[in-house]
Amino acid sequence: MKVGVVIAAAGSGVRMGAECNKVLLSLHGKPMLQYSIELFAGLEEVSSLVIVTRDVDCDLVQGLVEQMGLNGWVQVVPGGAVRQESVLRGLRALPADTEWVIIHDGARPFVTAPVVRRGLEAVREHRAVGVAVPVKDTIKRVQDSLVVDTLPRAELWAMQTPQIFSYELILKAHEQASAQGLVATDDCALVEALGHPVHIVPGEYSNIKITTPEDLPRSDEPAVGFGYDVHRLVADRPLILGGVEIPSEQGLLGHSDADVLTHAVMDALLGALGAGDIGEHFPDTDPQYAGISSMVLLSRVMALVQARGLEVGNADVVVLAQRPKLSPWKAAIRASLAQALGVAETRVNVKASTCEGLGFVGREEGIAAQAAVLLRARRS
Ligand code: MG
């Protein structure tokens, strides 16, 4: 039984309000896509796996695959303009001797092995199998705000993925649909269009598709994060702290604008998200971040916070600098950070401390910053 898997992961994240592909958003500390890859890679029945993703995300997804030690076994393939086209590209990338294909949406991270195995058992007999759950809501057909029909709920099932097929059958269904310009919202519908019956096996209600930020499971528990950063003081560089340029003989050296305080704040936010650190998100080897305003990077981190349905509760920061004297600038820094974090100024506290002449700060070799933030479920 040669089983290939196609994971469709070519969505843009537009409905998530995310700047990146939503399947790369962090979910409990790892990219959403990683959950399905781990599941299928761990099933002994599976012999090959293809991930179809947007052109622009191929490198990121390839990096994830390498990080998971699955390099060489998992193929990353650029997708098409729409999901159906992407899936067809994935199908064509599978080895020619593939007998059965599991098609799965990368935005369904909570699929479980028992569900997949149920589908694999059924497909040998039925050749086309969809995982689905009975619809709990009453479904009505509506036109121009008027109900025209109430559908019999006992007959209604909500389709999920995986959907599992004979390789030959699903390839034929996709190629025929492509030739005829038929567009469907799932792969089973293309097999139905061939006149071939599709068998249903029960899925799980927890196997949700993550489409909008509200779908992300969010904890009602608040989470704190902590950040720390240091940059070296040099001549001929501006000194920027919390997005505020401060007159100073010396400024901070770094790949970006070296805003040490904003870096500490970003690390605190990522910490509360369980999403690693800024080095992972914005590598200082990447030319696109050369000289970039750290406030721009902070807005990208805030987009991750918002995409998770969270908001900043408060932030407390401290800058450790021997010179210049920062007290005249604390109010401006507070206002700048409050705006970037989307909170009232009263929710941001800015402290400054010299180090009594001790250590690298005392010797005026560098400036350090620390930040603590609280993230909580969005209330508004
Ligand atoms: Mg830094």
Mean pLDDT of 146-155: 96
CA 251 – CA 235 distance, rounded (Å): 6
pLDDT at residue 284, rounded to an integer: 84
Q: Which residue has the higher pLDDT, 11 or 365?
A: 365
The alpha carbon of 319 and the centre of ligand 1 are apart by a number of angstroms equal to 13
Ligand 1 centroid vs 275 CA: distance in angstroms? 17
What's the gap in Å between 259 CA and the centre of ligand 1? 7
Distance (Å) from CA 76 to ligand 1 centroid? 32
Helix, strand, coil shares, percent, the chain, to 5: 35, 30, 35
Dist. CA 67 → ligand 1 center (Å): 24
Q: How far is the CA of 287 from the centre of ligand 1 (A)?
A: 15
What integer pLDDT is reported at residue 215 of this predicted model? 72
Distance 243 CA to ligand 1 centre (A): 13
Confidence at residue 220, expressed as pLDDT on a 0 to 100 scale: 64
Look at residue 343 in the predicted model and tell me its pLDDT: 97
Please say if the pLDDT value at position 378 is more than 90: no
pLDDT of residue 44: 92
Average pLDDT over residues 245-264: 95
Structure confidence at residue 377 (pLDDT): 83
pLDDT at residue 29, rounded to an integer: 67
What mean pLDDT do residues 169-185 have?
96
Amino acid 286: pLDDT: 82
| Distance in Å, CA 189 to ligand 1 centroid | 51
For 261-313, write each residue's pLDDT tens digit.
Answer: 999 999 999 999 888 889 888 888 888 888 899 999 999 999 888 877 789 99
Query: What pLDDT, on the 0 to 100 scale, is given for residue 17?
Result: 60
Q: Compute the mean pLDDT over every residue in the chain, rounded to the nearest whole number.
A: 92
CA of 168 to the centre of ligand 1 (A): 53
pLDDT tops 90 at residue 257: yes
pLDDT at 213 over 80: no
Q: How far is the CA of 294 from the centre of ligand 1 (A)?
A: 9
The answer to whether the CB of 46 falls within 8 A of the CB of 124 is no
pLDDT at position 351 over 80: yes
What's the pLDDT score for residue 327? Answer: 95
What pLDDT score was predicted for residue 288? 84
Q: How far apart are CA 134 and CA 155, in angstroms?
A: 8
**Cα gap 324→298, rounded to integer Å:** 24
Distance 152 CA to ligand 1 centre (A): 59
Both tokens of 357, joined, read: 């002449």
CA of 357 to the centre of ligand 1 (A): 22
At 130, list the tokens: 């969809």
Q: Alpha-carbon distance 93 to 178, whole Å?
A: 16
From ligand 1's centre to the CA of 263, what distance in Å?
Answer: 5
3-state secondary structure of 60: helix
Distance 339 CA to ligand 1 centre (A): 21
Ligand 1 centroid vs 340 CA: distance in angstroms? 18
Interval 66-106: pLDDT, tens: 999 998 899 999 999 899 999 999 999 999 999 999 999 99
Q: What percent of the chain has pLDDT over 90?
A: 77
pLDDT digits (tens, 9 = 90+) for 31-52: 889 999 999 999 999 999 999 9
The pLDDT assigned to 285 comes to 84
Q: How far is CA 213 from CA 66, 139, 205, 225, 332, in A?
A: 28, 24, 18, 21, 32
Overall pTM > 0.75: no
User: Measured in angstroms, how far is the CA atom of residue 258 from the centroid of ligand 1?
Assistant: 6
For the record, the structure tokens of 317 come out as: 């920061």
Contact call for residues 217 and 199 (beta carbons, < 8 A): no
